[in-house]
Amino acid sequence: MRTDAPETPPIALTIAGSDSGGGAGIQADLATMAAHDVYGTSAITAVTAQHSRGVERSYPLPLEEVEAQLAAVTDDFDVGAAKTGMLATTEIVRAVASEAASFEFPLVVDPVMVATSGDRLLEPAAERAYEELIGESRVVTPNADEAEVLTDVVVEDQPSAIEAGDALLELGADAALIKGGHVPGETISDVLVTATGTTTFEHARVDTDATHGSGCTLAAAVAARLARDESLEAAVGGATDFLTRAVRYHYDVGRGPGAVNHGVEQRNRATMEVTAESIRAAVDRIVEADITPLVPEVGTNVVGATPYAESLEEIAAVEGRITRTLAGISSNGAVRFGASRNVARFVLDAREVCPNVRFACNLRFNADVEHALEELEWTTAELERDRDAEADAETDEWVAPAAVESLFDGDSGHPIAVVDRGAVGKEAMTYLVATESETLADRVLALSEQFGE
Distance CA 16, CA 34 (A): 17
Please compute the mean of the pLDDT values over residues 197-203 and round it to a whole number: 95
pLDDT over threshold 80, residue 127: no
Please compute the mean of the pLDDT values over residues 281-294 and round it to a whole number: 94
pLDDT over threshold 50, residue 395: no
Q: Please report, rounded to a whole number, the percentage of residues in the chain having pLDDT higher than 90.
A: 79
CA 248 from centroid of its chain's CA atoms: 7
Please compute the mean of the pLDDT values over residues 202-222 and round it to a whole number: 94
Please compute the mean of the pLDDT values over residues 36-44 and round it to a whole number: 97
Please compute the mean of the pLDDT values over residues 57-65 and round it to a whole number: 94
Helix axes 25-35, 264-289, angle to 10 degrees: 40
H/E stretch holding 351 reads helix 342-351
Strands (E), 164-214: 175-178, 187-194, 197-204
Please count the CA atoms within 13 angstroms of the CA of 121 that sit on its side-chain side. Answer: 23
The 10s digit of each residue's pLDDT in 163-192 is 999 999 999 999 999 998 888 888 999 999
In the chain, % helix, strand, coil (3-state, to 5) comes to 40, 25, 40
As a whole number, the mean pLDDT across the chain is 91
> Do the beta carbons of residue 450 and residue 442 sit within 8 Å?
no
Q: How many residues belong to the chain?
A: 453
Residue 130: name the closest of 175, 85, 66 by CA: 85
Residue 112: name the closest of 135, 155, 83 by CA: 83
- pLDDT of res. 119: 54
Predicted confidence band at 129 (pLDDT cuts at 50, 70, 90)?
confident
Burial of 453 (0-12, 13-18, 19+ CB in 10 A): exposed
Q: Tell me how many degrees the CA angle 234-224-189 measures, rounded to the nearest 5.
A: 45
**CA dihedral in degrees (350, 353, 357, 361; nearest 10)?**
-10
Please compute the mean of the pLDDT values over residues 120-139 and round it to a whole number: 84
Written in H, E and C, the secondary structure of 380-441 is EEECCCCCCCECCCCCCCCCCHHHHHCCCECCCECCCEEEECCEECECCEEEEEECCHHHHH
* Weakest-pLDDT range from 4-13, 324-333, 366-375: 324-333
Please compute the mean of the pLDDT values over residues 221-236 and round it to a whole number: 98
pLDDT over threshold 80, residue 388: no
Please compute the mean of the pLDDT values over residues 293-317 and round it to a whole number: 95
Listing DSSP states for 245-266 in one string gives HHHHT-B--SSSS-B--TTHHH
CA 20 from centroid of its chain's CA atoms: 24
- pLDDT of res. 386: 57
Residue 440: name the closest of 432, 448, 430 by CA: 432
pLDDT over threshold 70, residue 97: yes
Please compute the mean of the pLDDT values over residues 79-86 and round it to a whole number: 97
Predicted confidence band at 393 (pLDDT cuts at 50, 70, 90)?
very low
* Weakest-pLDDT range from 77-91, 130-144, 167-181, 399-413: 399-413
Main-chain phi, psi angles of 245, to 5 degrees: -70, -40
